[in-house]
Amino acid sequence: MARIGLLGVGLMGEAMARRLLARGHQVTAWNLEPERLDLVVPHGAAAAASPAAVVAASEILLCCVLHAAAVENCLFGPGGVATAGRAACAGKRLVDLSTIPPAAARDLATRLRDAVGMGFVDAPVSGGPPAARAGTLTIMAGGDAADVAAALPVLRDLGAQVTRLGETGAGQAAKMVNQAVVGAGFLVMAEALAMAEAAGLDAAAVPAALAGGFADGALLQRIWPLMQARAFDPPLGYARQLQKDLHAVQDYAAGLGLDLPVVGAATGRLDAYVGQGHAMADSVSVIRLYRPDPG
């Protein structure tokens, strides 16, 4: 079993930590808000005072935070990974499970390697906290083949599907594709559910009724029932995170010379929802843009 360092104990980080502990790994965790460590220490994780302290206790590091600026802070901020020094870092790998722009992943990888000789794998995930807890995440990896191979034993404890898609940044590029589908899909599910409810259908029966057809898929089978039941607490993912990802998709597409009007429309609707004060609400609750909660 590996000695694993974890930077970030948000919704996903907590679920990952508990999964890795259950698999018998040693986990040393750090979080910017230290009170979040109380969610994993009782399950066997050790608490660290800084990312640099995590380096000393770990063979491989995982990072799962909100955005590129947060990853940069973990690596190069006060007490960051790089402050541990080359002797502590060289030959180790950092696996970034966050969703950040591909260019940011490439830049951070180069800086980390040049500063302290540590390898960097961008490995964003899809599936949410339940999949992390069950070890059934979908993981899209980019990086040097040897670095990805070294990370695979740990990644396979977290994911049922782990794919190296190319060099550094390729995992994040694949995540942009994933988030284009997911982000627009959340809004499509909300609009379709609003239509079903307004039509007087038994909306709870729709996923089974459409199973096997072209409308079938994880969004219909997993997201629709949560929307229909208004099962938003505790949140499985925050609206602000999906909003951030959709804006990242648009920015990445623009850099490729593409205009994605459907993604743009979905982003606008999510902007409106977050603007109403729902940044920390579950993304699934976007149905409230269209229909009130029953009762």
Question: Distance (Å, rounded) from C-alpha 284 to C-alpha 124?
Answer: 20
Percent of the chain at pLDDT > 70 equals: 100
Distance CA 99, CA 71 (A): 10
Give per-residue pLDDT as tens, 254-264: 999 999 999 99
Written as six digits, the tokens of 19 are 């999964």
Is residue 132 very low, low, confident or very high in pLDDT (cuts 50, 70, 90)?
A: very high
Give me the chain's average pLDDT, please: 97
- Rounded Cα gap, residues 18 and 24, in angstroms: 10
Give the pLDDT confidence of 162-173 residue by residue, as tens digits: 999 999 999 999
pLDDT value of position 170 = 98
Query: Do the two domains 3-166 and 173-289 of this chain adopt the same fold?
Result: no
5, 6, 45, 151 from 20: Cα distances, Å: 11, 10, 10, 13
| pTM exceeds 0.75 | yes
Distance separating alpha carbons of residues 5 and 186, to the nearest angstrom: 33
Active-site residue numbers?
175
Q: How many CB atoms lie within 10 A of CB 114?
A: 10
3-166: CATH architecture: 3-Layer(aba) Sandwich (3.40)
Q: Which of 293, 251, 230, 242 is nearest to 269 (CA)?
A: 242
C-alpha to C-alpha distances, 203 to 189, 192, 199, 217, 227, nearest whole angstrom: 12, 10, 9, 16, 10
What is the per-residue pLDDT for 293? Answer: 86
Task: Report the C-alpha gap between 20 and 6 in whole angstroms.
Answer: 10
Q: What is the third-level CATH fold of 173-289? A: N-(1-d-carboxylethyl)-l-norvaline Dehydrogenase; domain 2 (1.10.1040)
| Residue 162 token pair | 């782990």
pLDDT for position 294:
81
pLDDT in tens, 197-251: 999 999 999 999 999 999 999 999 999 999 999 999 999 899 999 999 999 999 9
**Domain locations in the chain as residue ranges:** 3-166, 173-289
Q: Is the pLDDT of residue 1 over 90?
A: no
